[in-house]
Structure 1
Amino acid sequence: MAKFLVDKSGPLFGEVEISGSKNAVLPIMAASILTEDKCEITDVPALRDVDVMCKLLQSVGAKVTEDYSENSIFIETEKIIAEEAPYELVKRMRASILVMGPLLARTGKARISLPGGCAIGARPIELHLKGFRILGAKIVEGHGYVEATVDKLMGGKIYLDFPSVGATENIMMAATLAEGVTIIENAAEEPEIVDLANFLNKMGAKIKGAGTDTIKIEGVQDLHGTKHAVIPDRIETGTFMVAAAMTRGNILIKNVVPDHVKPVIAKLVECGVEIEDGDDGMRVRGDLRPLIATDIKTMPYPGFPTDMQSLFMSFLTTVEGTSVVIETVFENRYMHVGELNRMGANIKVEGKSALIQGKRELQGAQVISTDLRAGAALVLAGLMAEGTTEVSEIYHIERGYSFFMEKLRGLGAKITRIED
């Protein structure tokens, strides 16, 4: 198992380029098997999850070619050879469930093991299955797997009890080849949903309303190949924004969409961080004035993203005052609290709320990356801690951040990767 060794680094300065979005590229890759034609996806981040999705698509019959020099992937699926996603791949990544909608639409059958991923709480797939049922699929659930079959998908009206991103994406993909019109109400509104809809529309789909709470999909007979560039990763953007603020640094963040990180901008500004959007990128400065506490509450988009909660909590341990964090999306997303407290933070959790006493002098310690974003939060804490912080289980981090260590080192961070 690899580890990161992180030493106190002082303010981070310089420029950093944001990679393509993990949460956008995975459903787009899955959607490519809706057509027999070749699809070219550009601005693809170099991530473990992308590698897993490549293998998953190959297992069902896709020909996948990667051009690392251009950050591009070519996917061509002339014929589906298997309607089942292998367990050894599904267990490594929750986003594997996203092949279910395309397989069902393309072949009339999809079977998948219950997915894995980060252990941040229950993320049931009932909403996915509810949507498939309304589209006419018969669902059979067994021990550790679920299977959907249908002769012909038919459009329908689907209300999501929660604006689930994955369910919205899966249902939207399946509905592109369904007969008639499908309406998804209380749909997720994330930028990644819009990016997937744009990709599908380039393929010949007829989707309107993506980015709002009501999406209309008019089914078509077939889809064709296309070329598409993935949007920048808004969570990676937020991570480096927090890194600039936390280390009292000055970072120019390039390849960003400011509208995608509005809640993060607002909360950092409340803390005293200066953020300026220019033609060359977004400049984030935490070095101009003393930084103070604020409160955050995670919500579905366009609210404060749950994926930024652990990172922001790490930052709040270093500012003056008391902060309250309320997590409303996942019930088990405070596993990083114990690790931060081992480093000298003062965080108390009660139910969905966490109380943070700021302005702590952090100390290096051996800590465990409990999930993807928690791991990044611990790395940032290590940049502020006296001594050396040893972050283990970093495969979580490498699932979702492209060249994370290299980008941090380019800004002046003292971080190395070792094999245990």
Structure 2
Amino acid sequence: TTVIEGAAQEPEVVDLANFLNKMGAKIEGAGTRRLIIEGVKELHGVEHDIIPDRIEAGTFLVAGAIAGREVTVKRVNPEHVRAVTDALARCGLPIDVKDDAISILPNGDASALELTTEPYPGFPTDMQAQMCALLSTTDGISVITENIFPQRYMHVAELKRMGAHVDLEGATAVIQGVDHLFGAPVMASDLRASAALVLAGLKADGITEVSRVYHIDRGYERLDEKLGELGAQIERVKEA
């Protein structure tokens, strides 16, 4: 018997445990901080539908918020993205939830926000960069505290190239919202930072060129095509 204390409670961990249990594993406590695993001699094949990607869903909701356009994300578990939708609602952005669909209905300028990343079910660190991009364009001063990866602010320098006003104080980002971002050549440094720069480009005046977009492909399938289907003027080109 193996006991894991302080286990992650993320939906992906629960889904993995459910998948393994279908295969014959004996795992108890998924979704809690304590997992009990009883070893078995063998596993067998099964069919399993994986859960929707909550970070991709959150990214598209923030895209709608930044662009000021209604966006509906379908086949999503609303409970899994509750921390994100709650944060958007606190920004003054109407959210509509119907079964497995979530819509963001921007009705004007979003407002400033204080946000802290936490383990699930708290606000996910994987949505911090995208929210940083959004809050760079809201009225007032926003504060983000990164409790999971305190140095996870590689996107800030690139957002500042686009006109964002962000000051870093240790694990905290203090964001003074601006009326306009401006297109600029920026460089992606990791998966979520690259998504944040693309989202900022939706709001920026002029052309934004994001390099090293292979980071995006690690966690998003056809992000550029999906945003294009929503009306974004976006094109993937080969780097010279």
CA contact (8 A) 2:61 2:72 kept: no
CA distance in 1, matches of 2:54, 2:67: 20
- State yes or no: 1:278 paired with 2:91: no
1:337 to 135, 150, 156: 156
Q: Aligned to 2:236, what secondary structure does the other structure show?
A: strand
Distance 1:369 1:251 in 2: 25
In structure 2, what is the equivalent of residue 212 of structure 1? 32
1:14-68 Cα offsets, whole Å, 9 max, x none, are: xxxxxxxxxxxxxxxxxxxxxxxxxxxxxxxxxxxxxxxxxxxxxxxxxxxxxxx
Of 12, 15, 23, the residue aligned with 1:195 is 15
Question: Which runs of 5 or more structure 1 residues have no equivalent in the other structure?
Answer: 1-180
Q: Are the equivalent residues in 2 in contact too, given 1:344–1:360 (CA < 8 A)?
A: no
Give the whole-Å Cα distance in 2 for the aligned partners of 1:260 and 1:309.
16
For structure 2, the residue ranges without an aligned partner over 5 or more in a row are: none
Query: Which residue of structure 1 aligns with residue 182 of structure 2?
Result: 363
What are the equivalent positions in structure 2 for 1:186-335 lying under 5 Å apart? Answer: 186-279=6-99, 281-286=101-106, 288-335=107-154
Alignment TM-score, normalising by the size of structure 2: 0.97
User: Post-superposition shift, 1:391?
Assistant: 0.2
- TM-score, normalising length: structure 1: 0.56
Backbone CA RMSD of aligned residues? 1.0
- TM-fit CA distance, 1:222: 1.1
Give the deviation of 1:265 after TM superposition. Answer: 0.9
Would the alpha carbon gap of residues 191 and 359 (structure 1) be closer, same or farther in structure 2, given more than 3 Å must change?
Answer: same
Counterparts of 1:112-123 in structure 2, within 5 Å, are none
Q: Which residue of 2 aligns with 1:5?
A: none
Give secondary structure in 2 for the equivalent of 1:347: strand
Name the CA distance, whole Å, in 2 between partners of 1:251 and 1:373.
20
1: CA distance between counterparts of 2:28 and 2:65? 38
| CA displacement at 1:359 relative to structure 2 | 3.0
In 1, are the aligned partners of 2:165 and 2:178 still within 8 Å (CA)?
Answer: no
- Pair 1:379 & 2:198 matched: yes
1:136-175 alignment, distance < 5 Å: none
Query: What CA distance in whole angstroms lies between the structure 1 residues aligned with 2:179 and 2:119?
Result: 30
1:295 to partner: Cα distance = 0.9
Among candidates 196, 202, 209, match of residue 390 of structure 1? 209
Deviation at 1:399, TM superposition (A): 1.0
Aligned equivalents of 1:381 and 1:289: distance in 2? 17
CA contact (8 A) 1:346 1:360 kept: no
Shift in Å, 1:245: 0.9
Q: 1:215, CA displacement in angstroms?
A: 1.1
Look up the SS of the partner of 1:228 in the other structure: coil
Is 2:78–2:100's contact at 8 Å kept on the other side of the alignment? no
Tell whether the 8 Å contact from 1:345 to 1:360 is kept in structure 2 after alignment.
no
Q: Which of the two has higher C-alpha Rg?
A: 1
User: Partners in 1 of 2:71 and 2:44 — Cα distance?
Assistant: 41
Contact 2:75 2:101 (8 Å CA) reproduced: yes
Secondary structure of 1:291's aligned partner:
coil
Shift of 1:280: 6.0
Residues 80-128 of structure 1 deviation map (CA, whole Å, 9 limit, x = unaligned): xxxxxxxxxxxxxxxxxxxxxxxxxxxxxxxxxxxxxxxxxxxxxxxxx
**Aligned-residue identity in percent:** 54
Once residues 116 and 186 of structure 2 are traced to their aligned partners in structure 1, the CA distance between those partners, rounded to angstroms, is 25
Higher relative contact order (CA 8 A, sep 6+): 1
From 176, 182, 193, the counterpart of 2:2: 182
Structure 1 or 2: more strand by fraction:
1
Letter in 2 for 1:281: A
**Quick check: 295-304 or 342-351, which moved more?**
295-304
The letter of the residue matching 2:111 is I
Contact 1:205 1:223 in 2 (8 A): yes
- Distance change in 2, residues 1:280/1:331 (3 Å): closer
Could you give the per-residue CA deviations for residues 298-346 of structure 1, whole angstroms, max 9, x where no partner exists? 1111111000000000000111110001111113211110000000000
- 2-structure distance, mates of 1:281, 1:340: 30
Distance 1:306 1:270 in 2: 18
- Give the SS at the match of 1:239: helix
SS at match of 1:348: strand
User: Partners of 1:246 and 1:200 in 2: how far apart?
Assistant: 39
Indicate the residue corresponding to 1:76 in structure 2. none
Equivalent residues, number: 239
- The corresponding residue for 1:15 is none
C-alpha contact 1:253 1:282 (8 A) present in aligned 2: yes
